[in-house]
Structure 1
Amino acid sequence: MVGAGRRLVLGLAVGSVLGGAVHGPAQAFAAKESNKLVPHRAVYEMTLDDARSVSGVTGIDGRMVFEFTGSACDGYSLNMRMVTQMTDSQGQINMTDLRSSTWEQSNGQKFRFQSAQYLNDKLGDVTMGRAERETPNAAVKVRLSQPARAELNLTGQVMFPTQHSLALIDAALAGEALFQARIYDGSEKGRKIYETTALIGSEVKPGADGTELETVAKEKRLGELASWPVSIGYFESQGGDLTPSYQIDFRLYANGVSRDLLIDYGDFSIHGTLTSLEYLKVAECK
């Protein structure tokens, strides 16, 4: 679950798509002036939404803090920490603490990532590495330094997290209902690419949310922006399984902020409620 939690945030960063044709990395990253991603810090309260008996999960509660900063000049940084307590059917409680930090060059050619996860305050997996390509359409070369030194070559069209998020917003603004992409975010010890399929609902016009918004969303005037209900399925890159490893539903706003999260792992699902939102200073290009 911890790894999936990290992929959730990176997918939403922004964070995280085919409406006729798959966008190439260079084309997808050419975001319009009207949908630049706003630097922000968001806090989500995470709770158990539903669970099948086979999951053994009876309770989940925690918090996710997500921070997005940077600009097209300096690149984009994503920092996330997600701490959750899970109660199983035997009444045992386990606490997981996931910390992740990434930096992505604005042209989508360089990507750095590192993450650490703790279980009951004991450090477990640590992942660190970097990925780059010589040109926007070239193969991606990954160099891992942790958990073990290794080099990987990722062929075909691959997007990094912020690149994917910008492309997803562009697809929504263009009225596209389906957006597919292969994403590399450094998760699963830096060795996996996920095939993603995003279903984009009809645009919710500014002011159409009414009283449905959380207090903080109202205070930060999210309702004055266009938004779209989005559902993204994450599939294993190999194997051809038609069932996603997990699915994320959320409301995506034109400035990159997300709210009303639902992460479905099949046997259980988690809901994320936006409880705090702070807009950060926009870095000016020199």
Structure 2
Amino acid sequence: MPFAMFRHVPDTVRVLTLAALLCGASLASSMAGSMAASAEEVTLQPHRAIYEMRLSDARSASGIVGVDGRMVYEFSGSECEGYTLNMRMVTQMTDSQGETNLTDLRSSTWEEGHGNKFRFQSAQYLNDKLGDVTMGRALRQTPNEVQVRLTQPAQAELNLSPKVLFPTQHSLAVIDAAKAGRSMLEAELYDGSEQGQKVYDTTSFIGDARPPGSDKDLEAPAKERGLDKLRSWPISIGYFETKGGDLTPAYQIDFLLYENGVSRKLQIDYGDFSIEGNLSQLEYLQKDTCD
């Protein structure tokens, strides 16, 4: 789920975390090794997907009356080559005064197959003017430490808990838990968002598996690519501030996850407004083979 996130009026989706989810733990202290082993049992389908984004619901206090846009998402790679994820989302948001803002978010990440290395960069444009730029990398140097080095917006170093998962690791963990019949997964997630400074506590609720053929309202691209022949699970993930102790998530993402890692029926809820993403195009890319 890649997936910085929109936090204010022109900001509607946290790209890096969302990206990680679209490709798609209380974890023990030995999580890193055990998750790598379980991830080998899950194969993610490289693909390029386009989602049409629009306003789903908004309270009057939000001041938002319209959101229209498009998100282009491309996921490729393999366990041996590492996973590459590129995303661009352009949205136009209209407020209650009739004013509009055009936001263009771009992100690119690479994650080593076993989750030991992670590189990320993102840029946000507001009304065609470049704003936030984030760039950095993270490394599991020892079983007891994850070190982050940031080069943009400023040079900095962070030391994180060894429990943190990187984005593709998290997606693999969710799919693995779904296949195992688990109904909940808790994990600490680091995806380079919020200028590389943020770690989120996440709680994933996993619904009952839907057997192949159970979806009767598939979009044409989903039918053409055979999603109706795969199992799927309704997923709801809440993102919490790690230091806040608040029982209400900062935001929540709901989606339907297929066993090959493709997602549809996206819904992002910020409390005072929510947006949805509907799959309009889906293309499968060539899989890398491991020697």
Scaled to the shorter chain, the TM-score interval is over 0.9
| Matching residue of 1:221 | 226
1:96 aligned to 2:103? yes
CA deviations over 1:96-153 (Å, ceiling 9, x no partner): 0000000000111100000000000000000000000124x33110000000000000
Which of 258-267 and 29-38 deviates more?
29-38
| Structure 1 residues without counterparts, runs of 5 or longer | none
Q: Find the partner of 1:115 among 119, 122, 125.
A: 122
The CA RMSD measured in Å over matched residues stands at 1.6
| Matching residue of 2:92 | 85
| Matching residue of 2:285 | 280
Identity, in percent, stands at: 62
Q: Find the partner of 1:199 among 192, 202, 205.
A: 205
Amino acid at match of 1:244: P
| Matching residue of 1:182 | 188
Count of residues in Structure 1 that have an aligned counterpart in Structure 2: 282
1:56 aligned to 2:66? no
| Matching residue of 1:159 | 165
Structure 2 distance, partners of 1:63, 1:8, is 17
CA deviations over 1:158-183 (Å, ceiling 9, x no partner): 00000010111000000000100000
Amino acid at match of 1:179: L
Amino acid at match of 1:91: G
CA contact (8 A) 2:17 2:167 kept: no
1:171 aligned to 2:177? yes
What displacement does 1:7 show?
A: 3.9
| Structure 2 residues without counterparts, runs of 5 or longer | 1-5
Structure 1 distance, partners of 2:97, 2:15, is 26
Structure 1 distance, partners of 2:174, 2:32, is 12
CA contact (8 A) 2:13 2:268 kept: no
Structure 2 distance, partners of 1:138, 1:161, is 19
Structure 2 distance, partners of 1:32, 1:264, is 29
CA contact (8 A) 1:116 1:124 kept: yes
What displacement does 1:14 show?
A: 1.7
Structure 2 distance, partners of 1:99, 1:219, is 28
Q: What secondary structure is seen at the aligned counterpart in 2 of 1:172?
A: helix
Is the alpha carbon distance of 1:104 and 1:123 closer, same or farther for their aligned partners in structure 2, counting shifts above 3 Å?
same
Q: What secondary structure is seen at the aligned counterpart in 2 of 1:262?
A: strand
What displacement does 1:21 show?
A: 6.3
Tell me the TM-score normalised to structure 1 length.
0.95
Q: What secondary structure is seen at the aligned counterpart in 2 of 1:50?
A: strand
What displacement does 1:5 show?
A: 2.8
Structure 2 distance, partners of 1:143, 1:103, is 15
| Matching residue of 1:131 | 138
| Matching residue of 1:237 | 242
Which of 231-240 and 1-10 deviates more?
1-10
Is the alpha carbon distance of 1:270 and 1:142 closer, same or farther for their aligned partners in structure 2, counting shifts above 3 Å?
same
CA contact (8 A) 1:29 1:166 kept: no
1:146 aligned to 2:155? no
